[in-house]
Structure 1
Amino acid sequence: MLRCVVQEHPKIWDEILGQAEFAYNSMTNRSTGRIPFSIVYTKQPNHTVDIAVLPKCSSQRATDFAEQFATMLLEVRQQLTKSNAKYKEAADRHRKEWKFSPGDLVMVRLRRERFPQGAYSKLSQRKVGPFAVLKQINPNAYVVDLPSHYNTSTTFNVGDLMAYHPPDAAPTNLSSSESDSSVGGGE
């Protein structure tokens, strides 16, 4: 953060440190969802805009400054809202919503994180299946009829599931959850 603030003048870092600390402590933290200052002191830090709430301000310059600052903040907030809407629209163009019903056949992507250290080979199949969907937990999570020899959870994120399309018109039959992953076409 200091590197960004001081830019071409690295020797003035000590003069900027107070401003950087204030900026960091007055911004919402991604993990806690709260401002660090408010966690420590149980109140929001005072900003320049806070002079706008002074009810008996006799200085016209201070009142004008507070009004200009409040207007600027409103414009910035509106611009950020517009910008975020554009980003969301662009991202949504490339998104595809997947919905599976119980009984649908899916291919499952098994990620390295699902296995103990050393149990996953980078040369193993990326997708296995087909397996039947047993139930939907929420729009993002499904329980799949995964054979027990995989030794991993049967709950998968929708991003790790792909609809199964058989290579030919022959019907695909799965006998049980203990079936081999190569039955029914596999990959």
Structure 2
Amino acid sequence: MLHCVVQKHPKLWDELLGQAEFAYNSMTNRSTGKSPFSIVYTKLPNHTVDLAVLPKCSSKLAADFTVQFSKMLQEVREKLAESNAKYKENADKNCRERTFKPGDLVMIRMRRERFPQAYKSKLSPRKIGHFAVLKQINPNTYVVDLPSHYNTSSMFNIGDLPAYYPPDEAPTNLSSSDSDSSVGGGE
């Protein structure tokens, strides 16, 4: 958002930060259906063309305000719960429950935080292994038989443990004598 506000003047970002914050806080949020301003201050912010009329304060107005504010907060909570349920439903559509037993073979997904010495380039392998599962700590955590030279904990989240499938036994011949240089753009 700040990039859009700054456009061709990136060195003025600190002067335009207030505008970006105001724009963000006055926009309607997809999850709540309300802007952050309307949730915190119970109304939309006044803009330069608005005339601010301050109401007279009395106990009836204060009571009405309290009821209105409580009702609005309840609506926001319900909207958030509804939105979270939709997000969960969409996430659960793509989620498959996986479990491993001791002895199952798994690959380990490489993460820069966990394997900084092995994560050197974009072309490095994304998974290593195959390693045997030693035990299950809880439904999301497994202990893997990881060699000590990796210098990291052998406990992994299930999201970092895809199942290992051995390669096919079909022979693969990659010698250049089998390919025809006239095919595929050669001369």
Report the equivalent of 1:136: 136
1:10-33 CA distance string (max 9 Å, x none): xxxxxxxxxxxxx8xxx9xxxxxx
Matched, 1:66 2:66: yes
The answer to whether the 8 A contact 2:106-2:133 is kept is yes
SS in 2 for 1:95: coil
Report the equivalent of 2:94: 94
Matched, 1:82 2:98: no
The unaligned stretches of length 5 or more in structure 2 are 1-16, 24-36, 43-57, 170-187
Report the equivalent of 1:164: 164
TM (normalized to structure 1)? Answer: 0.53
Report the equivalent of 2:150: 150
Deviation at 1:5, TM superposition (A): 4.7
C-alpha separation in 2, matches of 1:5 and 1:152 = 41
Change (3 A) 1:116 1:85: closer
1:68-120 CA distance string (max 9 Å, x none): 22222222221221122112211222222221111111112232322355x54
Report the equivalent of 1:105: 105
Deviation at 1:168, TM superposition (A): 4.3
Alignment length (residue pairs): 123
Q: What letter matches 1:3 in structure 2?
A: Q
The answer to whether the 8 A contact 2:110-2:119 is kept is no
Change (3 A) 1:83 1:110: closer
Deviation at 1:145, TM superposition (A): 1.1
Q: Which aligned pairs between 1:1-12 and structure 2 lie closer than 5 A?
A: 2-7=18-23
C-alpha separation in 1, matches of 2:80 and 2:20 = 21
TM (normalized to structure 2)? Answer: 0.53
Q: What letter matches 1:132 in structure 2?
A: A
SS in 2 for 1:96: coil
Q: Which aligned pairs between 1:5-84 and structure 2 lie closer than 5 A?
A: 5-7=21-23, 59-84=59-84
Change (3 A) 1:66 1:120: closer
